[in-house]
Chains A and B, each alone.
Chain A
Amino acid sequence: MSENPGAAAAVTPPLWLVAELTYTCPLHCPFCSNPLDFAAQNNELSTADWIRVLKEARALGAVQLGFSGGEPLTRKDLEVMVAEAHGLGYYTNLITSGAGLNETRIRSLKEAGLDHIQLSFQDSTREVNDFLSSTRTFDLKRRAAELIKGHGFPMVMNCVIHRLNIDHVERIIDLALDIGAQYLELANTQYYGWALLNRDHLIPSRAQLERAEAVVAARRAVLGNRLRLLFVVPDYFEGRPKRCMNGWGTTILCVSPDGTALPCQAARMLPGLEFPSVRSSSIREIWFESPAFNRFRGETWMPEPCRSCPERTTDLGGCRCQAYLLSGDLAATDPACDKSPHHGVVLAAIAAGERVAERPLTFRSPESSRRIMESSGRPDGL
């Protein structure tokens, strides 16, 4: 590509394909990463469409593949897609709640060549797990973990962390050891969509966060490679933003259930961007040529304070979705940065987290999705 500073930066190929096969999910987690208006999206890609996407993305260089959702196991053709992906040379990851995993399916997934299973828990206790997911799934998840180990899959345990379970981090680590996971992702909640709606309930206090960090550091020192602990401090508390998906359109290609191609799962609510569909464009056209994927590549789009900031090459201006949700401007500096003129919004959210939440939790369900759309009429729910 051109060295001209007005032109797009050199475009690297996508290395990761996130295949969001469906928004259907039996769980109702109030921090779900699916869009608030997911209930309006019901036109799922066919098996043949997905196989074409897998082939085209692999040809461009994608090698990590996440089958995600919703609950990907609700797609009865999952095994067909795993087999295709395996044959193409992808490393295949299944990202699941465990709901729907049984002996028959895990056997067929193994035969299809699935490489790894990421299993989510909502907490180390049955009570909080089942409360947060609004399902009786804790015991089911324990059985799913046994199946995963029994069939020799590597296992990542994922637990979204927030004020309702952050004080259980020690026990969550014990649960990961108990089920034989090789990695534990303690995924501090990122506040988009459902999690933003419920932020006052979910954001931990600074004291909670510091206690959890100390626990993780102490356990990590002992555990080493036996159980690898991933714990990323939430950007709200850091005063600096995180790179959005390793950089907008640099590494990760998400394809949502209806075929909309996105630089990240949360991006579809961004206004003024027309995200291309895999139904009408090739992956090559989408990745290299579409205005939406080129919009935030490189640095030329950056406003102040990013434009003159020496850290712009590290954080790339932060997250575009967070910029939009917190400042109303998708091209603004991410307000998680303490140099942002909108950083006060983040400080206010942290302050609110020190108080008891005043609104009830909104659990993710088709009904609440439709209710939010009816009352706000906006896909961001604002």
Chain B
Amino acid sequence: MTDSTPTANSAHPRIVPLYRLQWEEVQQAHVLLFPEGMIKLNASAGQILLRCDGMRSTGTIVAELEHAFSTTGLGADVEAFLRFATDKGWVEWVDR
């Protein structure tokens, strides 16, 4: 089920079930919650992870973000973050 080439356009990232993504009003940030721990995310990490649902491909996520923020050329940054998040164990990959 998991793909070893994580940022290939056909692969679909999703948040590992151990983690919970949540908006925290007091911190004005998305956070990743896990057993006895919390990671406060910056705005772009939060926006990327919000879309990591195992349904969207990396390409779809990039396109959505570029549309939402009226910009282009986000692909490299999104892929770099997804590699980082995969190494951290926050994100896993599903083939569809």
Contact = CB atoms under 8 A, between A and B. Distances in A.
Interface residues of A, number: 19
Contacts of B27: 61
A118 B18 CA distance: 14
Contacts of B24: 61, 63
B83 to A, nearest CB: 14
A317 interface: no
Contact of B36 (A13, A60, A93, A225): A93
B81 interface: no
B36 A118 contact: yes
Interface in A163-211: 182-183
Given A61-B24, A182-B18, A93 B31 contact: no
Contact of B35 (A15, A60, A63, A116): A116
Interface centre among B26, B36, B38 (most CB of A within 10 A): B36
B31 A63 contact: yes
A116 B36 CA distance: 8
B33 interface: yes
Interface residues of B, number: 16
A66 interface: yes
Contacts of A64: 33, 36-38
B38 A156 contact: no
Given A91-B20, A154-B18, A225-B89, A118 B26 contact: no
Contacts of B37: 64
Interface string A1-17: 00000000000010100
B22 A63 contact: yes
Interface of B: 18, 20, 22, 24-27, 31, 33-38, 88-89
Interface in A61-82: 61, 63-64, 66
A31 B25 CA distance: 38
Top 6 A-B pairs, shortest CB-CB distance? A61-B26, A225-B89, A91-B33, A116-B35, A156-B35, A154-B35
15 contacts: A13-B26, A60-B26, A61-B24, A61-B25, A61-B26, A61-B27, A63-B31, A89-B22, A91-B22, A93-B35, A93-B36, A116-B36, A154-B18, A154-B35, A182-B35
Nearest to B37: A64
Contacts of B34: 91, 116, 154
Given A60-B26, A91-B20, A15 B36 contact: no
Nearest to B18: A154
Nearest to A230: B36
Interface centre among A64, A66, A91 (most CB of B within 10 A): A91
Interface in A107-129: 115-116, 118
Contacts of A115: 20, 33, 35
A63 B37 CA distance: 10
Contacts of B89: 225
Nearest to A66: B36
A18 to B, nearest CB: 10
Contacts of B33: 63-64, 91, 115
A156 B22 contact: no
A131 B22 CA distance: 42
A370 B18 CA distance: 42
Given A66-B36, A91-B33, 10 more contacts: A61-B24, A61-B27, A63-B33, A64-B36, A89-B22, A115-B33, A116-B35, A118-B35, A156-B35, A182-B18
A15 B35 CA distance: 14
Contacts of A182: 18, 35
Contact of A91 (B25, B38, B88): B38
A253 to B, nearest CB: 14
B38 A63 contact: yes
A182 B36 CA distance: 12
B23 to A, nearest CB: 9
